[in-house]
Structure 1
């Protein structure tokens, strides 16, 4: 009985840590923290999508992810993640996460691209915690909306915790 309880507690801890990894991906993407973003991947980790093809290794991921570029093509991004499911097998795991990713384009009148995504992940436990071994992004559909005169500057200051 004690072994079963220990196993369930360990599985719950792993799931919680994996969920934190998924949340960190969204947070570091939106705050444009390239250093922390790429550290979420194994050194030889892969990021795949139709737009990126395959980016293998942290340097290639940093170079290929447009919102990490300087200057970025977006005024702001906002990734809302949900429905994270995972299966842990020792020091490896697989998972699926749904995401609604908002990408604000333009200056003055703005256009908001809202992408509905599914992430298919492979995770690996390291001494530093769980990391992405690979993440495959599938875009289910995209909406384009008029965002009016939205202020992304205020949004980014608030997200980064900067003073006004």
Structure 2
């Protein structure tokens, strides 16, 4: 049986994953400051992006996503969360259709796993590491 604290931690981690997706989909990149630790490592290379520390990747997201995609919508599966005191890991599947910019817009369908590490901070749970692992992508 789950203890109340463990249930609370799991819900907070799920909320963090949802807030990330909403911030990206709404292009509200400053909201990511309350999701990642300042020194978080992020790796989007498997899907053609960059890797690096959070500030560099945040800047890249803000420049690249609006330039190449009209819209996108993250749809998350249930995360497989493992708690270990003030740290946690999760693996979450994400289906992300993205509308490519152009004269004839096309839909790029991307399926990835987010392999994440979290740390509890004075301000609550934060992502300290995210590695995106491509399952598939297809342009329709």
Give 1:133 shift.
0.5
Give TM-score scaled by structure 2 length. 0.90
In the TM superposition, structure 1's runs of 4+ consecutive aligned residues that sit over 3 Å from their partners are none
| Paired residues for 1:1-164 under 5 Å | 8-50=3-45, 51-57=48-54, 59-65=55-61, 68-69=62-63, 71-145=66-140
Q: Structure 2: which 5+ residue stretches go unaligned?
A: none
Tell me the TM-score normalised to structure 1 length: 0.77
**Partner secondary structure for residue 27 of structure 2:** coil
Task: Give the number of the structure whose alpha-carbon radius of gyration is greater.
Answer: 1
How far is 1:108 from its partner?
4.4
Compute the displacement of 1:64 (Å): 2.4
Root mean square deviation of aligned Cα: 1.7
Deviation digits for residues 98-129 of structure 1 (CA, Å, limit 9, x no counterpart): 00011101244211001000000000011111
